[in-house]
Amino acid sequence: MSRLGDLGARLYRGEVGFDFVAKRKIWYAFSILITIVAFAGLGVRGLHMGVEFEGGAVFTTEGTEVSVEEAREVAEDASGSQALVQTLGDDGAMRIQVSGLGTDQSNETRAALAEALGVPTEDLNAELIGPSWGSQIANQAWQGLAIFLVLVVIYLAIAFEWRMALAALIALVHDLTITVGVYAIVGFEVTPGTVIGLLTILGYSLYDTVVVFDGLKETTKHFTKQTRHTYSELANRSLNGTLVRSINTSVVALLPVGALLFIGGGALGGGMLNDIALSLFVGLTAGAYSSIMIATPLVADFKKREPTIRVQDRKVLARRAKRAEDGRDDEDGGDEAAEEPRTDAERADEDDEPAPVAAAGAPGPRGPRRQPVSRTRGRGRPSGKRR
């Protein structure tokens, strides 16, 4: 077995563990700090919405020797708006996107680009997207996201309980906020590919969270019938039991997404690959973090407010304190099994020493009393025989 597999087995058996739940205030503070940075990026830079949401014009050129910087300057001078230029291959083909253009402005920009590129105006492909259509797309995207979140909360509340559903919802909002904030800080354009990536990362984030919650539900099924662990301790044990699995799943998912982002989008100029890959990469990383550091500690905090859980935790702590005063180890004793008492003779045999002899007048070891057989026993029976 590999070292990672051996570590996973030891984590699952509870032989080793990382106390995530006890250090939850550190994770909460870190998440709050990241969220503040994300909101600051949204407030300062804002989101760069694509033409699919704001409306505008998209011009597609054939292979040309004009550089990307020159094409951007021509488009911005002709339209008066910021232009986004992407290469479409090694032959010099480009995609020039300008937001917020009407029909007249689009025609003027097309003519200026055709003159700069040295091609006829008819050969320059132009696609005009109206702002009303982009607004409908944006509204449908928000509606789809809201319906998705509602369905997720309902399912988790039925499959587990409402506290776990609430913790999962908070973790999802946490992941979305971080991803959107990174988009604002980096300055990537928000396109339909971005929405697809956001919906995809929600599924991955929920997968890790549901795996942890399923283990937590199984571990705490008979919580009130034991007095060895508090609810937070059991939550931490279930989290450690699925830790290696969650890490492996996230790493395997991040490897191809990283290839899309850094190779497909960065080196090859993949266009929409950047939009999908960035949202996936940031969202998968945030989802792995939130399912471990946020969701399960939140469930432990919510459950600690229940009267039954509070009473049971107090019993566990009181029993542990009593055993500590008596000099006993609660982890080795437990409720499940106790050491079987041995007689003095058995201890003497193990130590090769003679069994201690009881002092005169002292009561000896008690055992089953043997009564003398009665001579009249069985006379009233039909056989008349004595036993």
Note the pLDDT of residue 352. Answer: 44
> Torsion over CA of 225, 228, 233 and 234, rounded to 10 degrees?
-40
Domain 56-129, CATH class in plain words = alpha beta
Note the pLDDT of residue 336. Answer: 40
Q: Which amino acid is at 358?
A: A
Q: Say if residues 146 and 169 touch (Cβ distance below 8 Å).
A: no
CA end-to-end span of the chain: 66
Sole residue written with tokens 């705490």: 220
Note the pLDDT of residue 66. Answer: 75
Residues 6+ apart with CB under 8 A from 56: 81, 97, 98, 99, 100, 101, 128, 129
Rounded Cα–Cα distance for residues 83 and 95 (Å): 10
Listed in order, the ranges of the chain carrying CATH 1.20.1640.10 are 3-49+133-311
CATH fold for the domain made of 3-49+133-311: Multidrug efflux transporter AcrB transmembrane fold (1.20.1640)
10-residue mean pLDDT series, the chain (387 residues): 60 69 91 92 82 78 76 79 72 75 78 79 76 71 82 88 90 89 83 79 80 85 84 87 81 83 62 74 87 90 89 88 73 41 44 44 50 53 49
Q: Helix, strand, or coil here: 86?
A: strand
Listed in order, the ranges of the chain carrying CATH 3.30.70.3400 are 56-129
Note the pLDDT of residue 152. Answer: 85
